[in-house]
Amino acid sequence: MTTSTTPRERLLEAAGELFYRDGMGVGVDALCKAAGVSKKSMYQLFRSKDEVIAESLAGLGPAYQAALLPDTDADLSPRERILTVFERQDRLTAEGSLLGCPFVSAAVELKDPDHPGSVVARRFKQHLTDFFQTQLMAAEADDPETLAVQLTIVFDGTSARAVVRAQALAGIGPVTASALLDAAGVK
């Protein structure tokens, strides 16, 4: 645990770390122990573990996106902006700090599309697809909506590959995304 001060912050920080590293099956006892918070306090702050899952994912989202997306003021073409996401994903896997997409991992593990955590995961995955679509529209790509979904699938697939193979991606994401962009004529 790091520098969070309130029990709520400590719980959300511990939940984000534990659920991402060990999965959604982490028990309330382990979560509370890692956060240095009693179970009674946790249930005073949150209605359920499901709420902790959802809020921890929501808290993780902005930092995860910031790690992947280029700065809004970066002087890059739409194609370069898209490829930046895959290059950063590649770098994070090489550093060993990416254990797959936390939102895909959560949704797959939770399985219930109506679970509060799945709803949050879907919202953040849509942010990535929307980012791709915005860049593709700026590049005047044909059918930016479909291509954005394809790029999201490449991102999710390469994330899963990094976890399943337990190794860095070695450039497969940028190469695959480039092939899609080339095929669509996105320069």
Residue 1 is predicted with a pLDDT of 47
**Which of 105-114, 130-139, 164-173 is predicted least confidently?**
164-173
Residue 57 is predicted with a pLDDT of 96
pTM to 2 decimals?
Answer: 0.91
Distance (Å, whole) CA 35 – CA 33: 5
pLDDT tens digit sequence for 75-90: 999 999 999 999 999 9
Residue 3 is predicted with a pLDDT of 57
Residue 167 is predicted with a pLDDT of 87
Binning pLDDT at 50, 70 and 90, where does residue 42 land?
very high
Q: What is the fold, at CATH topology level, of the domain defined by 57-183?
A: Tetracycline Repressor; domain 2 (1.10.357)
Distance (Å, whole) CA 130 – CA 113: 20
Distance (Å, whole) CA 53 – CA 24: 8
Spell out the domain ranges in the chain: 1-46, 57-183
Same fold, 1-46 and 57-183: no
User: What is the CB-side half-sphere exposure of residue 88 using CA atoms within 13 A?
Assistant: 15
Query: Residue range 1-27: average pLDDT?
Result: 87
Of 168 and 126, more confident = 126
CATH class of this structure's domain 1-46: mainly alpha
Query: Residue range 65-70: average pLDDT?
Result: 96
